Amino acid sequence: MYNGDMSTYYAEKFYTMGKRIEARLVALDMNQTDLHDELRRLGVHVSRSFISQLIGDKKSISAENLPYLARALETTTDHLLLLRDDPEPYTEKEATYYTIEAEKIADIVDQLEAPSRSMLLGIMQMVLEHEREMAKREWTSLLNLVERSVGRNTRAQIEAALAEENARNASGEPVNLR
């Protein structure tokens, strides 16, 4: 029953994934066959009876296929998982990227099939690991140079200050720039 609070009404009316799928089908003027065909187009091969059972909350979709279901229904995984009441996809303002490159990468990744996304993730993790190793080597070389120039005690003081700074950054404490 609607009491004037739209978010409460929505949460009460569409409290399962199946109900939210059904509501999106109505909103998009689609039927179960349309959803089945769209999922197949996206590379997800499920039966029509599976879709019926999904809507009836008798089956659940795999985590791997959930993003495709959200895409087919023009919504978000958060909406289907009951984490967000608004069925509309996030706006650009809500999707925050720290760099233009990150946004471009996200756009490309969204267009890839699941196996390609997994492979790309592995490659990106290897690149990140390589970058971190290179930075570690550079810091070690710099600290060795400091030690040769001004001594082991100064190197130890610098290492302690860096460790303290890293701990503060990891804990979210404000950084004190002296």
Show the low-confidence residues of the chain (pLDDT under 70): 1-14, 91-98, 169-178
Give me the CATH code for the 6-80 domain, please. 1.10.260.40
Residues 6+ apart with CB under 8 A from 106: 95, 97
Q: Taking the model in full, what pTM does it have?
A: 0.48
CB contact burial 13-41 (16+ within 10 A = b; e otherwise): ebeebbebbbbbbeeeebebeebbebbee
Report residue 61 CA to chain centroid gap. 18
Per-residue confidence (pLDDT) for residue 48, from 0 to 100: 94
Per-residue confidence (pLDDT) for residue 167, from 0 to 100: 77
Instruction: Show me where the domains of the chain are located.
Output: 6-80, 100-171
pLDDT tens for residues 63-109?
Answer: 999 999 999 999 999 889 888 888 887 765 555 666 778 878 888 88
Tokens of 116: 């390609």
Report the C-alpha gap between 39 and 46 in whole angstroms: 8
